[in-house]
Structures are given as structure tokens and as C-alpha cells.
Structure 1
């Protein structure tokens, strides 16, 4: 096994662990937008792992389709809930979709650049989900009984 493959596997395990912990917490303790976005993100992450072709020379249209569907869900939730953190989640997801399109349009942008971009913005999405879950807990704790 190549050393680069080991790093990719370690990163995949770390991102899976973070996604399950943060999205699981959002679905358990969050309000409705946090639960929906957490579930959508986790489903998107798992779906991406299932259909990823791991082809380093071609764009993966299946991943693009999943990311577009996830973006649509995030925007829909954001429009319904009108919370700032959901707008940021939608913006990060839009950047991921734009990264896919950049790879398709400009051959100088490599698949590895796309994967790095997807990882970075996915951590931003997870940070927003964690913040949304935290604020939901604070709102619940400070609500009049």
C-alpha cells in the first residue's frame, strides 16, 4: 500500500468520526434545522463514499449530483428557518459545487485540488452544524418554562 493511500484512509476515518459525532449530536440534541441539516450532511457524506469512483483523471459526476442535491436541501432549510448558520452551511455547500464545476471547466484544476477543497469546506459545514446545535441547546435552556 502506498503511503499516500494510508493518509487518505486516515483522513477518511477522521472525517467520518467527526461527521458521525457532530451530526449525531445535532440529530439528538439540536432543533429541527440542526437535525435536518445534520441528517442531510451525514447522508451526503455516506452516499459520496459509496459512489466515489476514485478516478484521479476524471471528474466524478455522481459526487457532483450528490453535492448539488445536498446544496438544494441546505438552501431549502435555510430559506425556511432563516438562521444565519444555515446560510453559511449553504454557502459552503455552494463552494463545494463550484469546485466541482471548476474541475470540469479548467483542466489545470486537478481532482486532488477538488478533494482538498471538499474536505476544507466540509469541515466548515460541520463547524456550522456544531454551532447550530449549541445555539439550539442554549435557546432550549434559556426558554421560559
Structure 2
């Protein structure tokens, strides 16, 4: 069994692997989305405040900018996975506001919601990468020709 304090580090390694493969194998919108997500996830702990019971303004700014970039990617390339990823990033922005608006929601529920949404984001990136690689293989675009 994995010690509890190692779980965030393992999650960051998994996110780095999934986004790294997307950057390596993906097309332009997938590379851009994976890069934005991994940068946002990497700088979030740097700016995290001490009091997590109120709205953490630097994190809210980072999440809002990430959501705006994902919406732009979705509108620019018009793919289903882009729209789903943009919707998930908008949910990440809304979770702290929902937590603030209802005092009955426990802080751990907020953390659980963020973790679930982050896992869904990783699944969307992984499925988009898998489909792109599969489509390239089927069409012969991924084959190097002399």
C-alpha cells in the first residue's frame, strides 16, 4: 500500500507522463492543451495560500486563465475533446465558488471535487492522444517514409 503523503506526488508524475505523451505524440491543439494543463498544475502549489478555507485569489486567477485558454483552443479547433476539456476547466473555476456559497460543504468535498475533475481531464487528454495516434496509424500519416 502507498503511504498517504506520496499520493500527490504520484498524481503529478502520472499527469506529467500523460501530458508528456500528449505533447510528444499529439497535434497542435493537443500539445497546446497538455502544455497549458501541466504548467497550470505545476505552478499551482507555488502560489497556494496558507488559508484554504477562503477563496485563494492566485489559484483562481491561474484556473480562470487556464479555462480561458481551453475555451480558446476549443473554439479555434472545434473538436469534441477540446470542448469537454474546456468544460472541465470551467468546473475547476466554479468549485471554489460553490464551496464559498454553501457553508455546509466540507473542505474535503472541495478537494475531492478538484481531484475528480483533474482525473477526468487526464482521461480526456489520454483518450485524445490515443485516438490521434490510432487515426494516424490507420491513415498511414505516422509512418516514416524514406
TM interval, short-chain normalised: 0.7 to 0.9
1:78 lines up with 2:70 in the alignment: no
Conserved? CA contact 1:34–1:133, under 8 Å: yes
Which of residues 47, 53, 56 is equivalent to 1:57? 53
Q: TM-score, normalising length from structure 2? A: 0.87
Aligned length: 139
Q: With a CA cutoff of 8 Å and minimum separation of 6, indicate the structure with the bigger relative contact order.
A: 1
- Within 5 Å, which residues of 2 pair with 1:14-25? 14-25=10-21
Partners of 1:57 and 1:144 in 2: how far apart? 52
Larger Rg: 2
**CA deviation vs aligned residue, 1:44-64 (integer Å, no higher than 9, x gap):** 101111111242432212111
* Aligned counterparts of 1:78 and 1:23: Cα–Cα separation in 2: 17
Match of 2:24 in 1: 28
SS at match of 1:78: helix
Matches of 1:53 and 1:17 in 2, distance apart? 23
Moved runs in structure 1, 4+ residues, more than 3 A?
none
**Aligned partners of 2:58, 2:104: CA distance in 1, in Å?**
21
Q: What corresponds to 1:38 in structure 2?
A: 34
Any conservation in 2 of the 1:56–1:112 contact (CA below 8 Å)? no
Unaligned runs of 5+ in 1: 1-5
Q: Which residue of 2 aligns with 1:94?
A: 90
- Cα distance between partner residues in 2 of 1:63 and 1:17: 21
Match of 1:127 in 2: 123
- Normalising by structure 1, report the TM-score: 0.87
Equivalent residues of 1:30, 1:134 under 8 A apart: no
